[in-house]
Amino acid sequence: MKQSIFQILSNTALTDSVYKMVLSGDTSDITAAGQFVNLQLEGMFLRRPISVCDYDGETLTIVYKVVGKGTEAMSRMVPGVKLDILTGLGNGYDLTLAGDKPVLLGGGVGVPPMYNLAKKLITLGKEVTVILGFNTRSEIFYEEEFKALGCKVIVATADGSYGVKGFATTPLAVIDYTYFYTCGPEPMLKAVYKATNTSGQMSFEERMGCGFGACMGCSCKTLTGYKRICKDGPVMKKEEILWEA
Amino acid sequence: MGSLNVNLCGIELSNPVIPASGTFGYGYEYAELYDINELGTFSFKGTTKDPRFGNPTPRIAECTAGMINAVGLQNPGVEKVIAEELPKLKACFHKPVMANVSGFAVEDYAYTCAKLDKEEQVGWLEVNVSCPNVHGGGMSFGTQPEAAAEVTRAVKAVTTKPVIIKLSPNVTDIVSIAKACEDAGADGISLINTMLGMRINLRTRKPIIANTMGGFSGPAIFPVAVRMVYQVAKAVNIPVVGMGGVSSAEDVIEMMLAGATAVEVGAANLVNPYICRDIVRDLPAVMAKYGINNLNEIIGGVK
């Protein structure tokens, strides 16, 4: 974990409620796809944990949905604004288990962390299929970006307004895959858990206090003991997940 | 440079800054960030006789200038704390540590304190009779003078280490509870624990916290904490550890003027993990600004 000051390079709308923010700063503590950063916003007490969409030596890209006053304030920020950010939080995805043909399933605002993951898997020479699930056509983002990486991209919409009609899990029946990686709302994660016939990893979300393992605000029960979503997660292996009623 | 040393119940502290229980784990997460030996000491995560998962999530809700938590004393239980957490703590922290203890029956407190009494690194026992997030225990001991006194006596009977009783602000008369603890043999009083609070999600119309209510902390409660520290410090003859919304060196000095011998910092750690180190580093300049040569001179110094 590292605390440092980032500067906004761009902050643009991808849909009515989803924004892409690119920042420059010290990304040296970001070590894996699926990690997150924790942003301090003026006038708000707690930081905002946001997953890393992409990063390189100098820049950090986050894609976030406006869901409350914090993300609403972020959506109005202009290039040049400086933000205090904790980086290198969370475990991230383990790439070593992917096999030759991993499938990545992103649902809604669970799509962004799939991007750097896909990029890394492509670099490793994997044949990557990405399934992007959205409610409706107007909410779709990043389809072209994933295609540009060289992934096979399938888009599913719940209302059938674009691509396959159904959920992110719907296309699973017709593709061949060796392992899965996913991020999305919990009902989707449960559906992925049931619909997949391989092992895999899923990223969870919870209201956090600190984001670095100190407060026990985001604990969950797993088959391998109590875990902190922020520090021991947010990525969990399928085998350790314990769904509570 | 002025002296930052204070003496808390017979043990010297190199400075009065103490991360509060539940915001600092067992120290080692923070030790990855900076040398936590810069701190006076810290109060480790509330420990109980048996392991506890705590409450369902969500356990956290943001508020104006603060937050609500309803963690519910998640901890691995005293045996595992001693076997697994304290060795890791010892590897990164080389001073006496404050052991925070909670319970659900008087015997639980005594059991846990007796175990921790044998641990060399434990300097003080901070006995939490004020957790708002557990039912049938915790705070219920801290809301009745006689019950708080009974816990104090039971703990004092099993330890030779200084016993600091941590009090709840969610009471009608905190002074009477503090005095009952002093009469029962407490070596110090720490206050305030979190204030009982609640938030409601306007969309779902449900409480944000799964446990409905939780403990409100952060800068918003600082004036309440200063007031209660002032009231208690005037009424007892044992050291008072002040806490509640402290987030700067100025806050530390204000708390000491109100009567605190040492000052705990809680919620601020979760927002800025370096805050306690920064407060320690800021103190000399702030002391100089207000003409303070020795922090001991200002304890209870409000005019």
- Tell me what ipTM this predicted complex has: 0.91
Per residue in B151-184, pLDDT tens?
Answer: 999 999 999 999 999 999 999 999 999 999 999 9
pTM to 2 decimals? 0.94
Closest chain B C-alpha to A110 CA, distance in angstroms: 19
Q: Are residues B71 and A218, on separate chains, in Cβ contact within 8 Å?
A: no
What is the structure's pLDDT at B135? 61
Q: Are residues A45 and B271, on separate chains, in Cβ contact within 8 Å?
A: yes
Q: Are residues B67 and A44, on separate chains, in Cβ contact within 8 Å?
A: no
Listed in sequence order, the residues at least 6 apart from A21 whose beta carbon sits closer than 8 Å to its beta carbon are A8, A10, A11, A61, A62, A63, A64, A74, A77
CATH number (domain holding residue B86): 3.20.20.70
Question: Quick one: A194 and A121 in the same domain?
Answer: yes
Predicted confidence band at B136 (pLDDT cuts at 50, 70, 90)?
A: low
Listed in sequence order, the residues at least 6 apart from B173 whose beta carbon sits closer than 8 Å to its beta carbon are none
SS3 state of residue A180:
strand
Sign of CA pseudo-dihedral B197, B50, B267, B230: positive
Predicted confidence band at B2 (pLDDT cuts at 50, 70, 90)?
A: confident
Closest Cβ–Cβ partner in B32, B218, B270 for A215: B270
Window B:45-104, CB contacts with A under 8 Å: 45, 53-54, 57-67, 69, 71, 74
Domain boundary among A89, A105, A137: A89
Q: Reply yes or no on whether the pLDDT at B137 is more than 60.
A: no
What is the structure's pLDDT at B142? 84
Full residue range of the structural domain in which residue A43 is found? 2-89
Full residue range of the structural domain in which residue B69 is found? 6-298
Q: Are residues B66 and A45, on separate chains, in Cβ contact within 8 Å?
A: yes
Of the candidates B63, B92, B113, B131, the residue annotated as catalytic is B131
Report the distance separating Cα A50 and Cα A86, nearest Å. 11
Closest chain B C-alpha to A185 CA, distance in angstroms: 15
Domain boundary among A31, A66, A89: A89
Listed in sequence order, the residues at least 6 apart from B30 whose beta carbon sits closer than 8 Å to its beta carbon are A214, B19, B24, B36, B269, B273
A98, HSE (Cβ side, Cα atoms, 13 Å): 23
A13, HSE (Cβ side, Cα atoms, 13 Å): 9
Helices (H) and strands (E) in chain B, counts: 11, 13
* Catalytic annotation present for B113: no
Inter-residue contact B258 to B302 (CB < 8 Å): yes
What is the structure's pLDDT at B140? 74
Please tell me the least confidently modeled range out of A58-67, A72-81, B127-136, B285-294: B127-136
How many domains, chain B?
Answer: 1
Question: Quick one: A197 and A209 in the same domain?
Answer: no
Inter-residue contact B129 to B148 (CB < 8 Å): yes
Per residue in B236-280, pLDDT tens?
Answer: 999 999 999 999 999 999 999 999 999 999 999 999 999 999 999
Question: Quick one: A179 and A227 in the same domain?
Answer: no
Report the distance separating Cα B299 and Cα B260, nearest Å. 6
Q: In chain A, what residues touch B67 (CB-CB under 8 Å)? A: 45-46, 209
How many domains, chain A?
Answer: 3
Closest CA to A62 of A37, A98, A43, A82: A37
Closest CA to B223 of B265, B254, B177: B254
Q: Reply yes or no on whether the pLDDT at B134 is more than 80.
A: no
Residue B286 lies in a domain: yes
SS3 state of residue B235:
helix
Question: Quick one: A224 and A185 in the same domain?
Answer: no
What is the structure's pLDDT at B133? 66
Closest Cβ–Cβ partner in B29, B45, B64 for A212: B29
Question: Quick one: A112 and A190 in the same domain?
Answer: yes
Q: Reply yes or no on whether the pLDDT at B297 is more than 60.
A: yes
Which positions of chain A have pLDDT values less than 50?
Answer: none
Predicted confidence band at B141 (pLDDT cuts at 50, 70, 90)?
A: confident
What is the structure's pLDDT at B208? 97
Domain boundary among A56, A74, A89: A89
What is the structure's pLDDT at B131? 73
CATH number (domain holding residue A233): 2.10.240.10
Residue A40, chain B, CB below 8 Å: the answer is yes
CATH number (domain holding residue A70): 2.40.30.10
Give me the residue label for tokens 């986050």: A62
* H-helix or E-strand spanning residue B117: helix B106-117
